[in-house]
Amino acid sequence: MSQVVATRSIHSSFLCPNPGSAQPRAENLLKPSTFSFDVFSPKKTSKAGFHRRSCQIVARKAALPPTEAVPVSPEDEIEEQLQHLRVIPQFGDTSAGMWSKPTVRRKTKIVCTIGPSTNTREMIWKLAEAGMNVARLNMSHGDHASHQKVIDLVKEYNAQSKDNVISIMLDTKGPEVRSGDLPQPITLTPGQEFTFTIQRGVGTPDCVSVNYDDFVNDVEYGDMLLVDGGMMSLMVKSKTADSVKCEVVDGGELKSRRHLNVRGKSATLPSITEKDWDDIKFGVDNQVDFYAVSFVKDAQVVHELKSYLKSCGADIHVIVKIESADSIPNLHSIITASDGAMVARGDLGAELPIEEVPLLQEEIINICRSMGKAVIVATNMLESMIVHPTPTRAEVSDIAIAVREGSDGIMLSGETAHGKFPLKAVKVMHTVALRTEATIPGGQMPPNLGQVFKNHMSEMFAYHATMMSNTLGTSTVVFTRSGFMAILLSHYRPSGTIFAFTDNKRTQQRLPLYQGVCPIVMEFSDDAEETFAKALGLLQKQGMVKEGEEVAIVQSGRQPIWRSQSTHNIQVWQV
Ligand SMILES: Nc1ncnc2c1ncn2[C@@H]1O[C@H](COP(=O)(O)OP(=O)(O)OP(=O)(O)O)[C@@H](O)[C@H]1O
Ligand SMILES: CC(=O)C(=O)O
């Protein structure tokens, strides 16, 4: 087995699948003068019989003479392995084997809103097996008892599942403005006069209550009011101290408790209402994994929530929902303060002109990718599947675009909450994402590579592990306590799966949202090699890797597990 060693540059020896402009920049940013690299090429057999045969790259801070050595040995099997990665899955592919589990093989993660169609034990199990990675609880609907039941079921699923884990995301109601209850739906016709009042309990054919006292102050003559994100629209004509008189522009059937937005304006309500704080506390008590915070307008609210969570010792990550017109000028600071963002296209397309939505989607994904934050694209992704068993072509294209743009997650709302075909919707999303991913070249780097994380050494190792696994066509195995290194690797979007081993259940629970990460909980022993061998044995037993396959093992990150404080390394092991 030949082994070629390059001694000059660690980068020039790697075959970059995407030799674009990011490469030279990456080299400059990531080439530290104070680190050295060793390659250990002899074939070794570990205690458990695995071969650590290809190479081991180790960096120690200024501890070794400044020589650099790296293997550049695309071996005979590599083309075969790359071919394997290029295999294009077909609709309904049920082939067993190393990649048969949808949740392992697909990289883009699926978020499912749980509601009346899916809140049973049977449906949670079926959704999980069909490919759900994150269960979303929408606090605009249901009560704590119904959400508690879902949380308990997801936790029960996680406890019994050997190789799959579902995160729980609690989505706050936020300062939603809604119309009041009506005894029966009202038909609104274009040109008709219709009034919204802040008086409570009004529901007649020409006037209905709104749940927000400042509504009259927030709207002005000429404003366009949208019902249900634009299903109907009304132009403001005049107002009094307690009511707003409108003319119907686009008519339809107005039902009880419908969403109201003012085109181009956000309500002057706080992003986190009293109800939201109550729901957040419910999330802390139940140790959910993520909050999706509705109608965030500035970073201040994220800081406030994070300091509350810190004060209660809660390890829950914060995803900001970008859906408010006021959030757009503050996108950078809001996303910087958060752990990720959701492109909440429903309200976003109501508060802003609808043609802005695809542009903002791309911009938000790019900002998140460049900051190493998670990003989810949400709403209407398979809307027609609420009532039909097959999607429209436009919906399929919409999923493909979100995947190509590099979203970590894609979300189903009404499709799984109250739709007729929740499982089919998940399967369509899975298949479309998988098919699209098969066409994306590996190694597409975020634009400001090397500048995001202060922990430069970990970033460099994430970069090199990605290059190495892409070149050799291997998966990556990482050992992580906080999840940091797995998230960092995901940020580099390696072609193979990132198997993230952790001894922390909370970390395992959080990682399913991240692109390409397959989290596995396992006890770590005091001996690194023994732990590596145990991890590979487990992957092999679950059919996630097969005998003879190579994997890149990364030891890096903020908190050393076995290595000494200043030593990081990448090894290639053969199963
Ligand atoms: N926990 C729940 N209990 C009951 N119904 C639910 C629940 N979650 C969602 N739904 C139903 O599924 C629909 C779609 O869910 P989604 O999360 O998209 O709600 P939404 O964005 O708040 O929509 P809407 O404006 O209709 O409330 C909701 O409108 C609601 O009818
Ligand atoms: C998801 C959500 O809240 C929206 O699209 O508005």
The per-residue pLDDT for range 373-382, each reduced to its tens digit, is: 999 999 999 9
31 to each of 34, 36, 266, 317, 458, how far by Cα in Å? 9, 10, 46, 32, 13
Q: What angle do CA 283, 285, 287 make, to 5 degrees?
A: 65
Q: Judge contact between 117 and 420, C-beta under 8 A.
A: yes
**Helical (H) or strand (E) element with 344:** strand 340-344
Which ipTM did the prediction report?
Answer: 0.96
pLDDT at 525 over 90: no
Reported confidence tier of residue 431, pLDDT bands at 50, 70, 90: very high
Query: Mean pLDDT, to the nearest integer, of 41-63?
Result: 52
- 19 in helix, strand or coil? coil
Clarify whether 136 is annotated catalytic.
yes
Closest-lying ligand to the alpha carbon of 178? 1
Give residue 32's pLDDT: 39
Distance (angstroms) between ligand 2 centre and the Cα of 391 equals 20
Kindly list the structural domains of the chain, giving each domain's residue range(s) and its CATH number in brackets, ordered by start: 5-83+443-574 (3.40.1380.20), 102-175+270-437 (3.20.20.60), 186-262 (2.40.33.10)
Q: Who contacts 21 (Cβ-Cβ below 8 Å, separation ≥6)?
A: none
Average pLDDT, the chain: 82
Spatial separation of the C-alpha atoms in residues 413 and 138, rounded to whole Å: 9
Clarify whether 321 is annotated catalytic.
yes
Clarify whether 121 is annotated catalytic.
no
Closest-lying ligand to the alpha carbon of 228? 1
Q: Judge contact between 348 and 264, C-beta under 8 A.
A: no
Clarify whether 345 is annotated catalytic.
no
β-pair partners for 226: 233, 261
Burial 372-399 (b: 16+ CB within 10 A, else e): bbbbbbbbbbbbbbbeeeebeeebbebb
Instruction: Give, for ligand 1, the residue of 111, 112, 140 to mutate: max count of ligand atoms closer than 8 Å to Cβ.
Output: 140
Q: Which of 324, 286, 266 is nearest to 170 (CA)?
A: 286
Burial 494-526 (b: 16+ CB within 10 A, else e): bbbbbbbbbbeeebbbbbbbbbbbbbbbeebee
pTM: 0.82
- 138 in helix, strand or coil? strand
The per-residue pLDDT for range 372-417, each reduced to its tens digit, is: 899 999 999 999 999 999 999 999 999 999 999 999 999 999 999 9
Task: Say which residue the tokens 């939201």 belong to.
Answer: 276
Q: Which class for 568: exposed (0-12), middle (13-18), buried (19 or more C-beta within 10 A)?
A: buried
> What six digits make up the tokens of 332?
């950078």
